[in-house]
Amino acid sequence: MAGLRFLSASIEFSAAMLMLYFGRIETAFQINALLSIVGPTVLMLVTALGLCGLAGKVSPTGMAMVVAGVALIFLGIRRF
């Protein structure tokens, strides 16, 4: 999980450096648009890894609550 977060941070930092390098708002906007794919993808992958790791250690009720919480996060993102 930490490795994926580190990879995500590296991509974000690289994008920020590219924005500074090009120094144009149009290019920065395009780079930022590409980053909109990275964030949700990393969120889903890290969440999936965490749930797989917790599967045998958490009670079924606890797991249902975690899954419901993740579902509410995605529902909130889609609605607002």
- Please give the Cα distance from 40 to 49 (Å, whole number): 14
pLDDT at position 47: 82
pLDDT at position 19: 96
Collect all residues with Cβ–Cβ distance below 8 Å to 5 and sequence separation of at least 6. Answer: 42, 46
SS3 56: coil
Q: How many domains does the chain divide into?
A: 1
Structure tokens at 42: 């990393």
- pLDDT tops 60 at residue 80: no
pLDDT tens by residue, 58-74: 788 887 888 888 788 87
Q: What is the pTM of this model?
A: 0.64
Integer distance in angstroms from the first to the last C-alpha of the chain?
Answer: 27
pLDDT tens by residue, 28-50: 999 998 888 888 888 888 888 88
Look up the domain containing 64 and give its range: 2-79
